[in-house]
Amino acid sequence: MTLDVKEEQSFKYIETGTGEPIVLLHGLFGGYGNFDAILHHFAPKYRILVPKYPPYELELAYTTVEGMVKYVEEFIAYKNLNQIHLVGNSLGGHVAQLYVLQHPEKVKTLLLTGSSGLFENSLGDAYPRKGDYEYVRKKAAATFYNPAFASKELVDEVYAVVNDRARALRMVVLAKSALRHNLRERVPELTLPVCLIWGKEDSVTPAFVGEAFHKLLKNAELHIIEQCGHAPMMEHPDRFNQIMERFLDNHS
């Protein structure tokens, strides 16, 4: 689904549909395209918003996990959203958890997929090397079970970031901030309904991370998708949407 990007104040985002709001938060190298299948499937029943928050385009003050939470907080306040269904992939899940901990009254349900917050590989210690396109391509492909999902467009975008000194610095700072900001002690405070969708072959946040979240959360369901990496909503969109729809139907 192709939608126009809105630019208002300091925000860039896409918005479609009507109904209860769903806010989708992408990961470190993510973007709108990560959620195409969700947008297409759920727009007839829900109001869906996807803020674009690439840290390499924001002020340095936002380039920490706490700063990203602040940015999302300001966006949700600007759009005057309440009773949100919040969905986060990878770093977006980390940000989503912190937002719920700070604003539990705002969020109705939480869906985490390949989320950081407890344990993650490859966010900081294996950052793509500058100038090495083949290395970047291999790292992007390793994110997926099926390497074909690492399109040239995606690889080119990551390559452009790591070869821009200012942008790359912000990404490294944010990655290290995420690794330091472990939520193990706080995850049990999340008492709202949570849906966990994990790829069995996720190499960034392995399946045991989803299982650890499941054990720590009081009101959660866990779904493991086979032959799937770090972005289930991209590799197995039909299965992902089926799980998400049933979860939302139970809590809408």
CATH class of 6-251: alpha beta
Question: For position 223, what pLDDT does the model report?
Answer: 98
**Can you give the pTM of this predicted structure?**
0.89
Asked whether the beta carbons of 24 and 15 are under 8 A apart, the reply is: no
Question: For position 124, what pLDDT does the model report?
Answer: 41
Question: For position 28, what pLDDT does the model report?
Answer: 77
Query: Could you tell me the CA-to-CA distances from 162 to 135, 168, 203, 218, 233 in Å, in that order?
Result: 11, 5, 21, 39, 25
Is the C-alpha dihedral spanning 178, 181, 185, 189 positive or negative? Answer: negative
Each residue's pLDDT, cut to its tens digit, for the chain (252 residues) gives 568 889 998 898 999 999 999 999 998 777 788 899 999 999 999 999 999 875 556 666 667 788 889 999 999 999 999 999 999 999 999 999 999 999 999 999 999 999 999 986 654 444 555 567 887 788 788 889 998 888 888 888 777 777 776 666 666 666 666 667 789 999 999 999 999 999 999 999 999 999 999 999 999 999 999 999 999 999 999 999 999 999 999 997
Question: For position 155, what pLDDT does the model report?
Answer: 81
Kindly list the domain boundaries of the chain, sorted by start residue.
Answer: 6-251
User: What are the residues whose beta carbons fall under 8 Å from the beta carbon of 77, sequence distance 6 or more?
Assistant: none
Question: For position 230, what pLDDT does the model report?
Answer: 95
Question: For position 123, what pLDDT does the model report?
Answer: 44
